[in-house]
Each structure stands twice: as structure tokens, then as C-alpha cells.
Amino acid sequence: MANFPSRETDIARLAQDVINGLRANPDVFPSPPFGPDELEQDLVTYGTRRDRALVSHAGAAQDTAAKDEALSTMVKKVKGELRYAEAVSHNDDGKLQLIGWGGRRAPTLTENQSPGQVITLEVVREGNGWVLLGWQEPFDGGEVSAYKVQRRKRDTGDWIDVGTAVEPEIMLNEQDPGVEWEYRVIAMNKMGEGPVSNIARAVL
């Protein structure tokens, strides 16, 4: 399975691969959520702010913060494009390689067992009072019947159920704005629940 890079240079290289692949293969990826033009503008913005941060002295902290913000925006959009490409190609490794990515490893499922842990929960997109969460299905344990989504205010209060999904994503509306929410996901089947996922945070 392809892993999302952690180094900035590798993220920028992947972003360029995605841009090139989307432009060259519109028949395979006809309606990406952001599109190559928008993603290319984010890549240019990141590059400009990165260069400014490297050469700046007096305003180094401010320029570095601006660069990190541009990088974060680009990462969210690249991940959104990749999640779209995985869905539209049905995780076809050959098609995903067109944009510099790769198919997911097939999960190892066991009968008569609760699911494993949900992988890489993340905020895909967010807005005023809404958030789109996405994750990867467990790689082990029993077959998943549904996913339970929970939230709480950051570091306070009990986790409460806010939604159920059968696919590895969910759109949650009517989320109180101006609050830093924490979200987690639990895979379920008739045998029980799997371990909780990592926590994803969003201020809506």
C-alpha cells in the first residue's frame, strides 16, 4: 500500500505527480474534488512561501507559519484527490500509478471476530458547521458491517455518538461552529466493536 509522505519535498513531488496524472488521464479521473488547476495554484503558493521562509531573516517566523499553512492546505487537497482516485478506480493499482499513487493492501479478514482498528482517520474537508471525515478500513479482524462515529470537545467531556456509516467516510452537518471538536471512529459487526481509531480534530 502506498503511504502518504512526511517530508515536504516528497509531498510537493507527489502533488506534482497528481497534477500531471489528472491532466493526462481525464477519462480515468473525470471529476476530481479540486482539480489539477486548483492544486497547481496551491503548489505554487506553497513554493513561494517556502522560498520566502528560507531567505527571510527578520520575518522568518511569520514566513515559516505562512509556508506551513500553505503546505497544510495542499496536503488536505492532495489527500482528497487521492481518496477520490481510490474510489473512482476501485483501488486499481495500475490506474492509481498514473497519479503517482498505489492501491491499498487487501485487508486480512477473519470470520467470527470483531473488526480491527480503523486506520488513518482524517478531516478531508470542513466548513462552517460541517465536516467531512474519511478513513481507511481495518487491515485485520472480522468484516466490517458499519462504522460508529463519535465526537467530544477537545480533551473534555464524554464521547457521544454522532453518526453511523457503511462506507469509510461521513459528512456531519449541524456541528457547533467555533468549537474545537475531536472525532474518532469505531468499526462494528455482529461480533462486536473494534479498537477506536486515532483522533481527528477540527474547528468549524
- Backbone φ, ψ for residue 187 (5° rounding): -80, 145
What is the pLDDT confidence band of residue 204, given thresholds at 50, 70 and 90?
A: confident
Angstrom distance (rounded) from CA 145 to CA 201: 25
Angstrom CA distances, 89 to 75, 98, 124, 139, stand at: 21, 11, 19, 20
What is the pLDDT confidence band of residue 157, given thresholds at 50, 70 and 90?
A: confident
What pLDDT does 2 receive?
67
Handedness of CA 179, 185, 188, 193 (dihedral sign): negative
Beta bridge partners of 56: none
Which residue bears the cell 457503511? 166
Which residue bears the cell 476501485? 90
Element (H, E) at 126: strand 119-127
Angstrom distance (rounded) from CA 130 to CA 118: 22
Residues 123 and 166 grouped into a single domain: yes
- Backbone φ, ψ for residue 116 (5° rounding): -80, -165
Task: Answer yes or no: is 107 within a domain.
Answer: no
What is the pLDDT confidence band of residue 9, given thresholds at 50, 70 and 90?
A: confident
What is the pLDDT confidence band of residue 58, given thresholds at 50, 70 and 90?
A: very low
Residues 14 and 92 grouped into a single domain: yes
pLDDT digits (tens, 9 = 90+) for 85-142: 888 888 888 888 888 887 665 555 566 789 999 988 988 888 888 899 999 888 888 8
What is the pLDDT confidence band of residue 145, given thresholds at 50, 70 and 90?
A: very high
Beta bridge partners of 172: 131
Q: What is the DSSP string of 86-120?
A: HHHTTT-HHHHGGGT--PPPPP---TTS-B---EE
Angstrom distance (rounded) from CA 122 to CA 185: 10
What pLDDT does 29 receive?
92
Mean pLDDT across the stretch 60-70?
72
Which residue bears the cell 456541528? 175
pLDDT digits (tens, 9 = 90+) for 22-46: 999 999 999 888 899 999 999 999 8
Task: Answer yes or no: is 112 within a domain.
Answer: no
Number of structural domains in the chain: 2
pLDDT digits (tens, 9 = 90+) for 162-193: 999 998 999 998 888 888 899 999 999 998 99
**Higher confidence at residue 162 or residue 4?**
162
Highest mean pLDDT of the ranges 70-79, 106-115, 192-201: 192-201
Question: Which residue range is the domain that position 188 belongs to?
Answer: 119-203
Residues 36 and 86 grouped into a single domain: yes
Residues 86 and 149 grouped into a single domain: no
What pLDDT does 161 receive?
96
Residues 53 and 125 grouped into a single domain: no
**Domain of 154: which CATH number?**
2.60.40.10
What pLDDT does 139 receive?
81
Q: Which of 95, 167, 83 lies closest to 123 in space, CA to CA?
A: 83
SS3 120: strand
Q: Which grid coordinates belong to 9? A: 519535498
Task: Answer yes or no: is 149 within a domain.
Answer: yes
Task: Answer yes or no: is 137 within a domain.
Answer: yes
Residues 80 and 144 grouped into a single domain: no
- Backbone φ, ψ for residue 101 (5° rounding): -120, -170
